[in-house]
Amino acid sequence: MDTHTGERDSEPAIYVGPDENQFGPGSADAVRVAVERGGGRIPSISKDAEAMVWLGSVSDLAGLLHENVRWVKLHSAGVESWVDGGSIDERRDFTSAAGAYAGTVAEHALALMLAGARRLHESARATEWGKRWGRLFAGSTVVILGPEASDAP
């Protein structure tokens, strides 16, 4: 922010960190590249940031937040641990990955259901052909219920 005019710089300063995180080597650098491609500027230290993309743990975030940070992007879909850890406050906006994994989780649940019904775990270990295992769904009515990603809390 230009302290003389009160106007914002055209490139928002977005801190990405920490470098060592659960996503592995190079993950923070990949996010930094995406931020720069999107028109953001990467400050060398968190104190110069107005926004943060946080890839680290709950316990490490609170100490880096300062009065100029207006927005924090958290990596997790759930925010309970962030609230319980005291990292989330009402002075800034926080966003998470809520709903980002909904489709993937739903497809995985369906795949596990089908694998169980067809006894795939037994078939994979079989050493010879034998009687057909599992249940066929051909001709059956199958209903799958669940919230849409947009309806998720």
Residues 12-23: pLDDT tens digits? 999 999 999 989
Number of domains in the chain: 2
Q: Specify whether 107 is located in the same domain as 69.
A: no
| Contacts (Cβ under 8 Å, ≥6 apart) of 135 | 117, 118
Residue 139 Ramachandran class (φ > 0 left, ψ -120 to 50 alpha, else beta): left
**Residue 54 in domain:** yes
pTM: 0.65
Q: Specify whether 55 is located in the same domain as 26.
A: yes
Q: Which residue range(s) make up the domain with 68?
A: 14-95
Lowest-confidence region among 25-34, 61-70, 80-89, 139-148 = 139-148
**Residue 45 in domain:** yes
Query: pLDDT digits over 62-105, tens only?
Result: 889 999 999 999 998 888 888 898 888 899 999 998 888 888 88
Q: Specify whether 65 is located in the same domain as 128.
A: no
- Please report the pLDDT score of residue 37 as a whole number: 96
